[in-house]
Amino acid sequence: LEFADVPAEVRTFEGDPAEAILRHSEKVGSDLICMTERGRAGWARFFGNGVARSILRNARCPVFIRKTPGEPA
């Protein structure tokens, strides 16, 4: 994003990751949440309750999720 002249910021938080990201996103009025997710296969992909899935379900702005490079498809 830095190379595309898109303003972006990286933050770290304590506590439940999904709750902290969602709380901060609402506080600052985020236009987009970008994050990575470990690749999961089969049923784990559909029934997993990971951070990315929680943010995707509850965010009030668009969410872009990219598989972590090097993880299996």
pLDDT of residue 4: 73
pLDDT in tens, the chain (73 residues): 556 777 777 888 889 999 999 999 999 999 999 888 776 665 555 555 688 889 999 999 999 988 777 655 5
How much is the pLDDT for 63? 94
Q: Which burial class, exposed, middle or buried, applies to 25 when counting CB atoms under 10 A from its CB (0-12, 13-18, 19+)?
A: buried
Distances (CA, A) of 73 to 5, 43, 64: 30, 13, 17
pLDDT of residue 39: 64
CA distance 11 to 18: 13
Q: 46's torsion region: left (phi>0), alpha (psi -120 to 50) or beta?
A: alpha
Query: What is the structure's pLDDT at 48?
Result: 58
Give the pLDDT confidence score for residue 9 in this predicted structure: 78
Tell me how far the alpha carbon of residue 68 is from its chain's centroid: 11
